[in-house]
Amino acid sequence: MEKCIIVAVADNWAIGRKNALLWNLPGDMKYFRNTTLGSPVIMGFMTFKSLNSKPLPKRTNIVISIFPWPDAPEGIIVVKSLEEAYAAAEKALETTGGDKCFVIGGAYTYAEALQSADTLHITHVHDSPQDADAFFPKIDPQVFRVDSVAPTQTDPQSGITYNFTIYKRR
């Protein structure tokens, strides 16, 4: 199974504020949906809360939390560690088919997943918010190489520019 990370990152590596995203970029949302559709998605408890505690449709939703969660909402698999999350993703792929899973946030979960990720789908958003409180670790070019960079997109509402970049582990 290919272990992927997908994230939108500012030029100063910011990814969130007050448990919410920093931007509303419909073009990036579409890319996220198209890229992850049909694959298991793995997220930390805070990111699940940021999605109004609702699973993303047409994907196996795996949520990491160490706390017992007897009244977990329908449609999610709750696990206690990233290792367990990957095992649950492997199992789901036996039924759904496919060969990749995506870690979709947030900061805590990304930091751990980066240690073993094969592929990073990073939207580099050309902005440097100063009031962020969640960050993605800086990518080490000795560990990951750029595989592809899509042409620069411009959000029509905000004028913010961004690039879809794929990194592979060396």
Ligand X SMILES: NC(=O)c1ccc[n+]([C@@H]2O[C@H](COP(=O)([O-])OP(=O)(O)OC[C@H]3O[C@@H](n4cnc5c(N)ncnc54)[C@H](OP(=O)(O)O)[C@@H]3O)[C@@H](O)[C@H]2O)c1
Contact 119, 168 (CB under 8 A): yes
Name the DSSP letter for residue 59: S
What is the closest distance, in whole angstroms, from the C-beta atom of residue 89 to ligand X in the complex?
A: 14
Closest CB to ligand X among residues 71, 94: 71
Short-list 112, 163, 122, CA closest to 144? 122
Give the nearest distance from C-beta 131 to ligand X in angstroms.
12
Question: Hey, is 160 helix, strand or coil?
Answer: coil
Residue 11 or 142 with smaller CB distance to ligand X: 11
Q: Which is nearer to ligand X, 21 or 142 (CB)?
A: 21
CB contact at 8 A, 62 and 43: yes
Q: How far is the CB of 14 from ligand X (least distance, A)?
A: 8
Structure tokens at 168: 């592979």
Q: In what helix (H) or strand (E) does residue 82 lie, and over which residues does it extend?
A: helix 82-96
Q: Given the complex with ligand X, which of 34 and 95 has the nearer CB atom?
A: 34
Q: How far is the CB of 97 from ligand X (least distance, A)?
A: 26
Backbone angles phi, psi at 147, to 5 degrees: -95, -40
Contact footprint for ligand X (CB under 6 A): 7-8, 15-17, 19-21, 43-47, 50, 64-67, 81-82, 104-109, 112, 134
